[in-house]
Amino acid sequence: MNENASKSRILSTARALFFVKGFEKVTTDLLAREASVSKATIYRHFDNMSEILQNVLEAEAEVFRAEVLGDISDHPDLRTALMSFGRKFLSFLGEQDSVEFTCLIHEVARDYPQIGRTFYTAAFEAVCAAVCGLLVQGQENGDLRDDFDPRDVAEDLISLLKGFGMVRAQLGLTTRPYKDIDQHVTRAVDTILVAYRASGGVGSA
């Protein structure tokens, strides 16, 4: 097995083990056994288990950005762009893997603050920056008023989109945090556009 293949195998195995057992119960002995590699191979790639989790997190963030933010600007108008983003965002969050991974990171972040910071930057900051960019374009195009901070409103929209769905899922109260994604996204996006549209801008009568 070449170096890249062994590293990928370690990370994919670690990801699966973290979901099932949690971070603290996954040892290098267990990981080596399940990944069919030696402990020496693990330590050739990573210094410790927290570095492995960091790499798993970064890989998850790459998938998230590609699936949710990859074409966020490739739409003819602001509402279409926000609706497309919202659907992809909630579809991704609603996947069981996403719920479990978020729970895992919240648990680990208490003892490993850097993991929490990386998760926040790679996920929430990336989403906020992308949505903020769309709102800035809306201001520049005259669709939205220019008297608000687009970053603040981006956070408002993201909060409206997430709602309590993820909270219920993380508490084990539901396996479907967003039962009607289109309806949920439409309500959130239109709430923001109505509140901040310019006279004669997008959504105006």
Contacts by residues 150-153 (CB-CB < 8 Å, ≥ 24 positions apart) = 153/192, 153/196
Task: Say if CB 126 and CB 65 are below 8 A apart.
Answer: yes
Is the pLDDT confidence value at 205 over 50?
A: no
pLDDT digits (tens, 9 = 90+) for 3-18: 778 899 999 999 999 9
Helix (H), strand (E) at residue 127? helix 126-140
Domain 1-46: CATH architecture, name and number where available? Orthogonal Bundle (1.10)
Check pLDDT > 60 for residue 203. no
Pseudo-torsion of CA 42, 46, 50, 53, nearest 10°? -80
Torsion of CA 14, 9, 51, 126, to 10 degrees: -90
- Output the pTM of the full model: 0.87
Q: What is the CATH number of domain 49-196?
A: 1.10.357.10
pLDDT at 200: 63
| Rounded-to-integer distance, Cα 126 and Cα 133, Å | 11
pLDDT of residue 204: 46
Please report, rounded to a whole number, the percentage of residues in the chain having pLDDT higher than 70. 97
The tokens describing 151, both together, are: 């970053």
| Per-domain boundaries in the chain | 1-46, 49-196
Mean pLDDT confidence for 65-84: 91
Residue written as tokens 């920056």? 129
